[in-house]
Amino acid sequence: MNQLSVILTFFAVVNLVAFFVMWRDKARSKKAGAERISEGALFFMATMFGSVGVYAGMFAFRHKTRKWYFIIGISMLIVQNIAFLYLVIDKLAFFI
């Protein structure tokens, strides 16, 4: 497996986990007294390259869509994550 495949696989797995975490938090929000996943943890996951998964989960499960700071913040993190991914792939292409 080459380096590009490893990077893209990592990105895909992190986003799938982030999507699952959004689903899990939405399911817990429906149960009274269930322990929830903090908004800080969701933002941290988005910062650690899971922003696309969090964003997809927001709209797939209609979760956190009323919070303006989630819509704006996660959108900005998507741009940051994609820019970073582009830079890594660009530098990787330079060394190949």
Say if 17 falls within a structural domain. yes
Distance in angstroms (rounded) separating the CA atoms of residues 84 and 77: 10
Count of Cβ atoms closer than 10 Å to residue 2 Cβ: 8
pLDDT by 10-residue block (mean), the chain, 96 residues? 88 98 95 92 96 97 94 97 92 72
Q: 3-class SS at 65? A: coil
Say if 11 falls within a structural domain. yes
Query: Which pLDDT does position 95 carry in this prediction?
Result: 67
- The position carrying tokens 């982030």 is 18
Say if 86 falls within a structural domain. yes
Q: State phi, psi for 26 to the nearest 5 degrees.
A: -65, -40
Query: Which pLDDT does position 51 carry in this prediction?
Result: 97
Number of domains within the chain: 1
Query: Which pLDDT does position 90 carry in this prediction?
Result: 87
Q: What is the domain range of residue 79?
A: 3-25+38-95
Say if 30 falls within a structural domain. no
| CA nearest neighbour of 59 among 25, 19, 29 | 19
Say if 33 falls within a structural domain. no
| CA nearest neighbour of 61 among 25, 31, 34, 35 | 25
Say if 42 falls within a structural domain. yes
Say if 61 falls within a structural domain. yes
- Provide the whole-model pTM: 0.90
